[in-house]
């Protein structure tokens, strides 16, 4: 389960659009950071998505993606035109197509490769959705089928696009907006598919004389309830609204690390077997089987856009590092797979993350302040590099990834030297023992 949010320039401290997303997937479903340059394709060529091929366009934009290692598409990403997109699973009454088709993450990548603005990228998704529909398994080790919502942004505008099968509605963002694992568009929208209202009425989901509400009429209430998207959406909205007009990159990072209204310094993710927070932690199944496996914040400007990525799980235990599209992704080593690989950035961090979970409160306290200070330094130094040559930007980005990797190893050694002040409940310990065994840890 995931959360995606945006603040337009009129809600930000420096007038720049801010975008943020946590991608929540299975605990061992490592997420890769990848960069693909602009490309020109031969006439008549095809593009092989996760499950099916489509006709390729003549030219595709350069894209930076955060993608589950086994999927062609991505959970979140950006292109060299200044567009960013995040997608969410939504659960609807429209039957899922379980055959091989286009999944939400495929739509996201195709839109980034083909769209030059948030609105044109949205139109790419709409056209593909209406022509091909959506379908296919989205789960790594357990089958999972759902429909999708998208938040698309550029430096000037942002859109929310929510779907149910081939039906859809879109809302233009005015100031701040968040989406989660529920349909958030109700009785008002800016654009919609032709049969959106009539289809629901024919199905009896909207009674005669009753005002049509997209979310109320189309949502599958059982799956939407257990996904806990409503509470997370309410929380992220409240956090954005509280800072509206003065929002910063650091605020967006803090929201992605949020564990709820009453979390405080004593919060631990190993309490309980239900519930979900913006910074998501897996636990004992079958409800809490997802964790945040990648996090992303973008500061969008007409001149220079900076993307802040963890490239790792759980942002509360991770460091955001800067990437410029024009400078490309620095060398961060081989991409991860579903089992432990010490050469992989994602899996090296996972050792720290899983050690912190053994005694979350006391172990996070060891490095939380140092984590924030390191990111503050990165944020200050980014301003110096904004107008530097591309080689300098690449070198600085590489240095930030190296510093983050090095300091996480230092944190790991520090917490390992400390005796445990508390212990995981037995059911959480058993769950994580199982995850570790499957990962080869």
Catalytically annotated residues: 2
Burial annotation 422-440 (CB, 10 A radius, 16+ → b, else e): eebbeebeebbeebeeebe
Torsion from C-alpha of 409, 414, 416, 422, nearest 10 degrees? -130
Q: How many CB atoms lie within 10 A of CB 198?
A: 12
Other CB atoms within 10 A of residue 402 CB: 14
CA distance 88 to 162: 9
Tell me how far apart the alpha carbons of residues 1 and 23 are, in angstroms, rounded to a whole number. Answer: 7
DSSP 232: H
Region of 396 please: left (phi>0), alpha (psi -120 to 50) or beta.
Answer: alpha
Q: Kindly list the distances between the CA atom of residue 164 and the CA atoms of 226, 318, 327, in Å, as whole numbers in the listed order.
A: 18, 34, 38
Output the CA angle 160-292-311, nearest 5 degrees: 95
């Amino acid at each position: 389960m995931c959360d995606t949010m945006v603040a337009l320039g009129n809600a930000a401290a420096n007038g720049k659009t801010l975008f943020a997303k946590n991608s929540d997937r299975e605990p061992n479903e490592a997420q890769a950071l990848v960069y693909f340059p602009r490309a020109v394709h031969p006439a008549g060529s095809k593009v092989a998505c996760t499950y099916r091929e489509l006709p390729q366009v003549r030219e595709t934009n350069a894209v930076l993606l955060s993608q589950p290692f086994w999927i062609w598409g991505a959970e979140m990403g950006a292109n060299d035109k200044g567009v960013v997109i995040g997608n969410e699973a939504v659960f609807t009454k429209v039957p899922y197509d379980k055959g091989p088709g286009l999944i939400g993450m495929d739509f996201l990548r195709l839109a980034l490769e083909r769209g030059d603005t948030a609105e044109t990228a949205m139109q790419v998704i709409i056209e593909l959705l209406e022509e091909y529909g959506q379908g296919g398994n989205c789960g790594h080790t357990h089958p999972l089928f759902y429909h999708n919502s998208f938040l698309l942004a550029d430096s000037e505008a942002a859109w929310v696009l929510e779907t149910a099968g081939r039906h859809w509605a879109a809302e233009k963002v005015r100031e701040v907006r968040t989406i989660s694992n529920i349909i958030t568009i109700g009785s008002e929208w800016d654009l919609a598919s032709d049969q959106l209202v009539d289809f629901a009425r024919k199905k009896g989901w909207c009674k005669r004389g009753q005002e049509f509400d997209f979310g109320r009429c189309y949502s599958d209430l059982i799956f939407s309830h257990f996904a806990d998207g409503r509470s997370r959406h309410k929380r992220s909205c409240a956090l954005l609204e509280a800072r509206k007009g003065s929002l910063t990159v650091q605020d967006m990072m803090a929201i992605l690390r949020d564990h709820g209204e009453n979390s405080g310094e004593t919060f631990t993710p190993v309490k309980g077997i239900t519930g979900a927070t913006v910074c998501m932690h897996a636990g004992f199944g079958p409800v809490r089987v997802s964790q945040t496996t990648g996090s992303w914040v973008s500061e969008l400007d007409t001149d220079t856009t900076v993307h802040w990525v963890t490239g790792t799980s759980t942002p509360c235990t991770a460091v955001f590092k800067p990437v410029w599209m024009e400078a490309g992704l620095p060398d961060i080593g081989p991409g991860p797979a579903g089992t432990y690989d010490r050469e992989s950035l994602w899996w090296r961090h996972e050792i720290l993350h899983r050690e912190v979970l053994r005694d979350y409160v006391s172990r996070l306290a060891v490095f939380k302040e140092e984590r924030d200070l390191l990111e503050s330094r990165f944020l200050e130094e980014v301003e110096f590099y904004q107008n530097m040559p591309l080689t300098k930007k690449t070198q600085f980005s590489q240095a930030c990834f190296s510093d983050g990797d090095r300091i996480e190893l230092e944190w790991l050694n520090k917490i390992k030297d400390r005796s445990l002040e508390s212990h995981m409940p037995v059911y959480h310990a058993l769950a994580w023992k199982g995850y570790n065994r499957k990962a080869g840890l």
